[in-house]
Amino acid sequence: MSADHGGDIDHGHPHPGMEADYELGYYARRAQAIESLMIEKGILTSQEIQGMLDSIERRSPTDGARVVAHAWFNEEYKARLLDDPESALKELGYELPETTPKLTVVENTDAVHHMVVCTLCSCYPRMLLGRPPDWYKSLVYRSRAVVDPRGIMQEFGLNLEEEVEVRVLDSTADMRFLVVPRRPAGTEDLTEEKLACLVTRDSMIGVTDALSPQPAAIAD
């Protein structure tokens, strides 16, 4: 598995049936209609919409990894992030537009594991993770995640103990979720920068854990 949390994570194996089977044309037309309606009603100008789109396009899982690493490094910050994500994100320079859907941040622990899906379409915390991966948008993932989350995670290489409670979180047009994965053991002496290298996009969706520290990957 690659430690590059800035792009698509290569797990070394395919995920059968999780190809992008959505219809891009439909979503493009829907977005265009909503944009036109917002401009028509004076809610936003075309320049403001373009500015938000440009901001989202610049985001990547690196941004989410930075937030998670800071939460691992600073317990007080993590508490603020879980309680009031919007205010906590401002501390790191991430200011969410008023029109951005509400963001809920959850923490994976030894007792509870969260996994995010959008059963309706492909709602995703783009403000922190950038574009969603194709498999996240696939009908197979969206339908299986709610009925067989452990099976999905196993395909990504994650096998949870039976006693761990799995909670599937369904994103909506009004709500997005970000998972703070469990901090790997043996990382007590790592800097925030090196911790961020262990946080992958998939771990912030909840289909995997964060990476275990590898000397070659985190060495100066």
DSSP the chain: ----TTS----SS--TT-S--S-HHHHHHHHHHHHHHHHHTTSS-HHHHHHHHHHHHT--HHHHHHHHHHHHH-HHHHHHHHH-HHHHHHHTT----TTSPEEEEEE--SSEEEEEE-SSS----HHHH-SPPHHHHSHHHHHHHHH-HHHHHHHTT----TTSEEEEEE--SSEEEEEEPPPPTT-TT--HHHHHTT--HHHHHTSSPPPPP-HHHH--
Structure token pair of residue 60 = 């990547």
Q: 197 catalytic, yes or no?
A: no
The catalytic position among 60, 121, 138, 197 is: 121
Single-letter amino acid, residue 186? G
The catalytic position among 55, 60, 122, 212 is: 122
Answer whether 106's CB lies under 8 Å from 82's CB: yes
Three-point CA angle 138, 143, 146, nearest 5° = 125
Structure token pair of residue 82 = 């879980």
Q: 122 catalytic, yes or no?
A: yes
The catalytic position among 46, 123, 197, 203 is: 123
The catalytic position among 46, 87, 118, 138 is: 118
As annotated, the active-site residues are 118, 121-123
